[in-house]
Amino acid sequence: MPKRPPPRGTVARKAQHVDLVLRKSVTFRSKTTGLEEWEFVHNALPELDFVQVDCSTAFLGHPLTAPLMVSCMTGGYAGAGRINRDLAAVCAEAGIAMGVGSQRQALEDTTFHKTFSVVRDVAPGIPIVGNIGAAEIALTKRPDAILRLITLIKGDALAVHLNPLQELLQPEGTPRFSGVLKAIAFLVRELPVPLIVKEVGAGLSQDVVRRLLEAGVRYIDVAGAGGTSWAGVEILRRNAADRREVFWDWGVPTATAVREAASLRTGSLRFTLIASGGIDSGMDMARCIALGADLVGSARPMLQALRAGGRARLMRQVQRWTEDLRSVMFLTGARTIADLQTRPLIRRSNP
């Protein structure tokens, strides 16, 4: 059976998104992640050697050398295959996790399936996370199509991204979110792999996290505000006369989202908390973990490093972040990631 030509709208949009993220200033303008407000208590008597510091962890049944994931970014257009191949190669070499970009295009057409499946071809031993939008699952009655997306990448989990702000501002967006929570609960029950629910850079409030936990979700990625503004990306794609700039900085800052989500943990209710949204250093990673995260995700800085200097540049960045994380652990007397999660942070006073 011959392949149908790919829907031009989705393919063009995916390529345009990556282009804008790399070429334009699409970060938040007046809002930060809030992570810079927190600092560690220096421990001058750590009682361990630096070589004893171990920042390894586990995620989705795989060991990781550090609690880091290259977050969901791309796939579904011609140039995405090379990007995903390079990202996956670095993740495999570094021993960290990776998520693919939205697989909506893969539901529409098979032409660019390889841009997603190449990730598992290149990285057979790391956690790979699939990705689909909330608007696509809202009317899900059977899991068959979603299962095909997981099979395509031999995924260890599927991320459902909640992006009402992006869909609202996207020129061709579909801001239809009725029934999303019911669909999430359905997929939690029906899928053979864990379901991760995430935002895309506007953050998850404590109330939303609570409702997700009540629906059975046990993997939460807050994807807070302060890094890339996907509202900003879509605003740049809009007609100049209708930019709706007022929404550029909308969202819950990453530090706030992590703290509020972590506060919902109880003795009987445990879940994996992923911090993403504006993470651009090993220090940010350490702060997120001390605030309660188990894993940290980063997208745009990884793509920028890859573009600037290929796999070698990206590998150096991952290694530098990991070394800075280990240094923070040493300077706070934390031998393991679990230890770091108990280390106190002090909120800086406003001048």
Q: How far is CA 102 from CA 14, 131, 330, in A?
A: 9, 5, 37
As a whole-number percent, the residues of the chain with pLDDT over 70 amount to 97
| Closest of 263, 236, 257 to residue 248, by C-alpha | 236
Summarised one tens digit per residue, pLDDT across range 124-171 is: 999 999 999 999 999 888 899 999 999 999 999 999 999 999 999 999
Q: What is the pLDDT of residue 8?
A: 54
The domain spans of the chain are 67-321
pLDDT at 350 over 90: no
pLDDT at 73 over 90: no
pTM of the model: 0.95
Tell me the two tokens of residue 307.
């573009």
Q: What is the pLDDT of residue 72?
A: 80
Which residues touch 178 (CB under 8 Å, ≥6 apart)? Answer: 138
Average pLDDT over every residue of 107-115:
93
Q: 279 and 297 in contact (C-beta within 8 Å)?
A: yes
Q: What is the pLDDT of residue 121?
A: 98
Mean of the per-residue pLDDT values of the chain:
94
Average pLDDT over every residue of 17-43:
95
In angstroms, the CA 172 to CA 182 distance is 25
Q: Identify the DSSP state of 277.
A: S
pLDDT at 189 over 80: yes
Q: How far is CA 261 from CA 33, 114, 203, 242, 253, in A?
A: 15, 36, 11, 35, 12
Helices (H), 27-143: 80-94, 104-108, 114-122, 134-137
pLDDT at 197 over 90: yes
What CATH topology corresponds to 67-321? TIM Barrel (3.20.20)
